Structure 1
């Protein structure tokens, strides 16, 4: 039997086409179609996504019939498989390798990481350490929002945004951003966008503890939300 296959976003780019016809034995399932596609296109990894048959979401063992349209859908923006966000008082450095491994997949030819660290001196003054304070319930939602915005603007694979809270010493990481994408321009642009948005709208505040005092470091609110 023959089915029509549709692919989207980075699935489409990995296969080199968004539409194709697939010959399968009678009695095949969605999983059989997935395996046949991945075998025919070595750079294509459909794990973590979803499938729709004739525009209805179906489980992997759903049977196929001749003439069906089978669409393979990448994880949607903000989906569990495509996004990891969070706040933590634990050191971020041990987490970096895990996030890079999680973001890595055959379909993604580029993985960009950004690590923001405590700088000293800053403006000529020695910084002993930083303290980060957050409105945590809101901050979690804002991190997820930024990740969704990234997926809406670029064709990406997986996005991780994790911010440190509490005391952070010199050269220690305060934020880790990991972005995977089929191609490097999108990965670089999305990572740059993420840190700029974090600095602008994330409700996390930084206090510098100096040799001669301490000071809250403030930026500026966006015109849209300024009081």
Structure 2
């Protein structure tokens, strides 16, 4: 988007800014719109895209900075920026300058990513799964529920547990998102209708490399 937006494109960004709860300012004859591309929150450990428009400022005259939250900003293209933050706060400001003079600032909150959930085949913990459906799954998936960003987590390990025909507990430790050959063997041999399987000690790394422990999973085999 070009910063010299005097007509339709600038009006569209003003509408988007209003809907997203972001800020619109007037500096002299220049209107400024600061619109978060996702929501009015910046998240630690991920890219936070931001659109900034000035009605009377060409691309080279507009500068964007961030104060608070350990924020840094990089320009991705005309009117499009990426903000990264490191510190929790309710007082982070995105500042827009035109010709070196402050034209407006928009407040943001900085938050950690919400806790992710693990799943096997998209089934939530406590679900009943047919034996053949469970045995066909390659391992775990990790997701964030109702979250606007696409966030990639790395599963670094988990423990699979199932009871055998004599009532003994059989376990297999897995060092990635995939079931190991040992785990697959236990699934094929013992994950039969009427049995319960558990997956616990689930460990994942978020995009910043921080390791997290997330809730265990329980499935009932049909």
TM-score normalised over the length of structure 2:
0.30
Higher relative contact order (CA 8 A, sep 6+): 1
Bigger helix share: 1
Decide which structure has greater strand share. Answer: 2
TM-score norm. by structure 1 comes to: 0.30
The structure with the largest alpha-carbon Rg is 2
